[in-house]
Structure 1
Amino acid sequence: MSLSDLKHSLRKYEFPACAKEALYKIEQLLIGRSAPSSKQLDISMDITSEFIFCETDRRGNRRGSGLNPLQELQLIDIISEYLSACSNETTKNTIFLSLFGSMDSQRKLKILSILASMAVSACCTPVLSAVGVWLQQMGCSSPQSLQLVESVIQDHFYLNTSNQNSLKTLATCAPEFVSNFITAVTELYMHDLQGVKKMPPKNLLEIITSWVYSNPTLCMSAQLNPAALPVGAIPMAVVTPLAGLIHWCSIAPLHVEETIDVEEPAPKKIKIEGEKQTVVKSVPLSKPLPTSDLYTKLHLAVLHSLRVGQRTHGPPTAVNAQQLAALIPLVQLYSHQLIKRGIKLQNDIKLQDCLDRIGQAIQVALANGCVYGNISNLLSALDTLPENRLLKMIIKKHQQSI
Structure 2
Amino acid sequence: MSFSDLKHSLRKYDFPACAKEALIKIEMLLVGRAAPTNKQLDVAMDIISEFVFCETDRRGNRRGLNPLQELQLIDIICDYISACTNETTKNTIFLSLFGSMESQRKLKILSILASMAVSASSTPVLLAVGVWLQQMGSSSPQSLQLVENVIRDHFYLNTSNQTALKVLAKTAPQFVSNFITAVTELYMHDLQRVKKMPPKNLLEIITAWVYSNPTLCMSAQLNPASLPNGSIPMGAVTPLAGLIHWCALAPLYIDEDTEIEELPIKRIKLEDEKLPIIKSVPSKSFTEAELYVKLHLGVLHSLRAGRRTHGPPTAVNAQHLAALTPLVQNYAHQLLKCGVKLQNDTKLQDCLDRMGQSVQVALANGCVYGNISNLLAALDTLPENRLLRIIIKCHQQSI
TM-score interval, smaller chain: over 0.9
**Partners of 2:88 and 2:227 within 8 A in 1:** yes
| Alignment match of 1:341 (pick from 338, 342, 355) | 338
Unaligned runs of 5+ in 2: 266-274
**Partners of 1:325 and 1:378 within 8 A in 2:** yes
Equivalent residue, structure 2, for 1:37: 37
* Secondary structure class of the residue paired with 1:35: coil
Task: Say yes or no: does 1:207 pair with 2:205.
Answer: yes
Task: Say yes or no: does 1:387 pair with 2:375.
Answer: no
Shift of 1:194: 5.7
Task: Say yes or no: does 1:97 pair with 2:95.
Answer: yes
Shift of 1:161: 2.4
Shift of 1:59: 1.2
Shift of 1:195: 4.4
Partners of 1:389 and 1:309 lie apart in 2 by 26
Equivalent residue, structure 2, for 1:162: 160
**Partners of 1:257 and 1:292 within 8 A in 2:** no
**Partners of 2:257 and 2:287 within 8 A in 1:** yes
**Partners of 1:55 and 1:62 within 8 A in 2:** yes
**Partners of 1:220 and 1:309 within 8 A in 2:** yes
Shift of 1:179: 0.2
Partners of 2:343 and 2:288 lie apart in 1 by 25
Show the 5 A alignment for 1:360-375: 360-375=357-372
Equivalent residue, structure 2, for 1:255: 253
State the AA in 1 paired with 2:47: I
**Partners of 1:35 and 1:232 within 8 A in 2:** yes
Greater shift, 1-10 or 175-184, is seen at 1-10
Shift of 1:258: 4.5
Q: Give CA-to-partner distance per residue, 1:197-236, whole Å, 9 cap, x none.
A: 2100000000000000010000000000000000111100
* Secondary structure class of the residue paired with 2:160: coil
Equivalent residue, structure 2, for 1:307: 304
Task: Compute the TM-score of the two structures, normalised by the length of structure 2.
Answer: 0.95
* Secondary structure class of the residue paired with 1:47: helix
Shift of 1:283: 4.2
Task: Say yes or no: does 1:13 pair with 2:13.
Answer: yes
Partners of 1:399 and 1:357 lie apart in 2 by 19
> What is the root-mean-square deviation of aligned Cα atoms in Å?
2.0
Indicate how the Cα distance of structure 1 residues 5 and 305 shifts in structure 2: closer, same or farther if over 3 A, else same.
Answer: same
Q: Give CA-to-partner distance per residue, 1:237-293, whole Å, 9 cap, x none.
A: 11000000000000000011342889x99x99xxxxxxxxx9965342331311110
Equivalent residue, structure 2, for 1:121: 119
Unaligned runs of 5+ in 1: 269-277
Equivalent residue, structure 2, for 1:47: 47
How many residues are aligned here? Answer: 390
* Secondary structure class of the residue paired with 1:289: strand
**Partners of 2:191 and 2:327 within 8 A in 1:** no
State the AA in 1 paired with 2:22: A
Partners of 2:191 and 2:153 lie apart in 1 by 23
Partners of 1:363 and 1:75 lie apart in 2 by 50
Task: Compute the TM-score of the two structures, normalised by the length of structure 1.
Answer: 0.94
Task: Say yes or no: does 1:320 pair with 2:317.
Answer: yes
* Secondary structure class of the residue paired with 2:314: coil
Task: Say yes or no: does 1:58 pair with 2:58.
Answer: yes
Partners of 1:98 and 1:261 lie apart in 2 by 45
Show the 5 A alignment for 1:232-243: 232-243=230-241
Partners of 2:259 and 2:190 lie apart in 1 by 30
* Secondary structure class of the residue paired with 1:197: coil
Indicate how the Cα distance of structure 1 residues 128 and 193 shifts in structure 2: closer, same or farther if over 3 A, else same.
Answer: farther
Aligned identity (percent) is 79
| Alignment match of 1:223 (pick from 206, 221, 224) | 221
Partners of 2:147 and 2:96 lie apart in 1 by 20
Show the 5 A alignment for 1:342-361: 342-361=339-358
Q: Give CA-to-partner distance per residue, 1:307-327, whole Å, 9 cap, x none.
A: 111121100000000000010
Shift of 1:173: 1.0
Indicate how the Cα distance of structure 1 residues 45 and 201 shifts in structure 2: closer, same or farther if over 3 A, else same.
Answer: same
Partners of 1:134 and 1:193 lie apart in 2 by 30
Q: Give CA-to-partner distance per residue, 1:73-92, whole Å, 9 cap, x none.
A: 00000000000000000000
Task: Say yes or no: does 1:396 pair with 2:396.
Answer: no
Q: Give CA-to-partner distance per residue, 1:337-358, whole Å, 9 cap, x none.
A: 0000000000000000000000
Greater shift, 298-307 or 308-317, is seen at 308-317
Q: Give CA-to-partner distance per residue, 1:89-118, whole Å, 9 cap, x none.
A: 000000000000000100000000000000
Q: Give CA-to-partner distance per residue, 1:27-75, whole Å, 9 cap, x none.
A: 0000000000000000000000000000011112333xx0000000000
